[in-house]
Structure 1
Amino acid sequence: MKYSASLLFSLLLSTFCFSQNGFTSLFDGKTLNGWKRIVGSGNYTVENGMITGTTVAGSPNTFLATEKEYGDFILEFDAKVNDTASNSGVQVRSHYDANEINGSNKGRVYGYQVEEDASSRAWSGGIYEEARRGWLYPVTLNPAAQDLFKTGEWNHYTIECIGNTIKTWINNKPVAT
């Protein structure tokens, strides 16, 4: 799957990660402390207590990653995508290889992406393996979930990564479970 300047987060609000130590806030609402941009030249800023991602024409996919790694976790966040041509997602259990050359771009992100798909394809909440096997759980496997994501509105995501299992929910309804 190829798309230009995919954003890891298209507006993010109240991001929490639940691990063995209880819920941990990943975003302080004011700064990008604890986060780093990798690959691409997309821009991430904090506006009104939210992380806002903006694509840059001609840039490869741009990722905003936590500086800390997590084992088993439940990630909850709210996302809003206004552009129906946008394709974005949240990488989980992913890795960055700064030495790999991807076309003319140095560096590559590998791993699982939970989709934010505002297009008519409606695959939000599906699981895609970036730079490897491709679609692991297209939402066509759960047609009832294809109407859960609302373009131009806030959507609540829950992503559970326990052991070798990844499960997703949008607006408290199961997508990939």
Structure 2
Amino acid sequence: MMKNTLCIFALLCFHYLALAESSDFKSLFDGKTLNGWSPAPGGKWVVKDGAIVGTSPKTERRHGMLLTNKQFTDFIVKAKFRVHSGDSGFYFRAKRVKSAVSVHGFQVEVDTTQETGGLYETGGRAWVKKPSPETVKR
């Protein structure tokens, strides 16, 4: 199995931002369980050492999404991440669909390529905004 960050960085950010920022931020991850989350087909999800870990074999054609059970209209997301390998991202304004990806919506790209920080619309326009080389260096 190849470890992927999949959408984990966003989940961890919600947890740690809730601890680090003002009480206006709400944690979506309790640090112990996957309560409040539902997996989309593909990948395997577990909580290990206070973090959500997603794994997926290279042969898996589905992306392996972990989706919150709640819907949000207005929100602010702050994230810090580190990617060792694989292709990942954070979806927002997304809806479940029956496709290999499992969702259509906007994705902030997070991976080991020069696309990190770009905005991609899955099931729509494709690249909305590719990141500049200066953005990727940060």
- Whether TM-score is above 0.5 comes out as yes
Q: Which runs of 4+ in 1 moved over 4 A?
A: none
Number of the residue aligned with 2:96: 96
Alpha carbons of 1:10 and 1:44: their partners in 2 closer, same or farther (altered >3 Å)? farther
Question: After the TM superposition, which residues 10-25 of structure 1 pair with which residues of structure 2 at under 5 Å, given as runs?
Answer: 12-15=11-14, 22-25=24-27
2:81 is the counterpart of 1:111: no
TM-score (norm 1): 0.64
Residue of structure 1 in register with 2:54 after alignment: 53
Give the superposition deviation at 1:9: 2.1
Unaligned runs of 5+ in 2: none
Maintained 8 Å contact 2:108/2:117: yes
Q: Which residue of 2 aligns with 1:130?
A: 122
Asked if the contact 1:43–1:56 (Cα under 8 Å) also holds between the matched residues in 2, the reply is: no
1:80 Cα shift? 2.7
TM-score by length of 2: 0.80
Change (3 A) 1:108 1:13: closer
CA shift for structure 1 position 78: 3.5
Compute the RMSD of aligned alpha carbons: 2.5
Q: Shift of the alpha carbon at 1:11? A: 8.2
Q: How does 1:68-79 map to 2 (within 5 A)?
A: 68-79=70-81
Q: How many residues align?
A: 129
With over 3 angstroms needed to count, the CA separation of the structure-2 counterparts of 1:135 and 1:6, relative to structure 1, is: farther
| In structure 2, distance between residues paired with 1:126 and 1:92 | 13
- Structure 1 stretches lacking a partner, 5+ long: 149-177
What fraction of aligned residue pairs are identical, expressed as a percent? Answer: 35
The yes-or-no answer on 1:145 pairing with 2:106 is: no
Shift of residue 79, structure 1, vs aligned partner: 2.8
What amino acid is the match of 2:12?
A: L
Decide whether aligned partners of structure 1 residues 8 and 14 sit closer, same or farther in structure 2, where only a CA change above 3 A counts: closer
Distance 2:5 2:48 in 1: 19
SS in 1 for 2:91: strand
Shift in CA distance, 133/96, structure 1 to aligned 2, threshold 3 Å: same
**Contact 2:120–2:128 (8 Å) recurs in 1:** yes
Greater strand content: 1
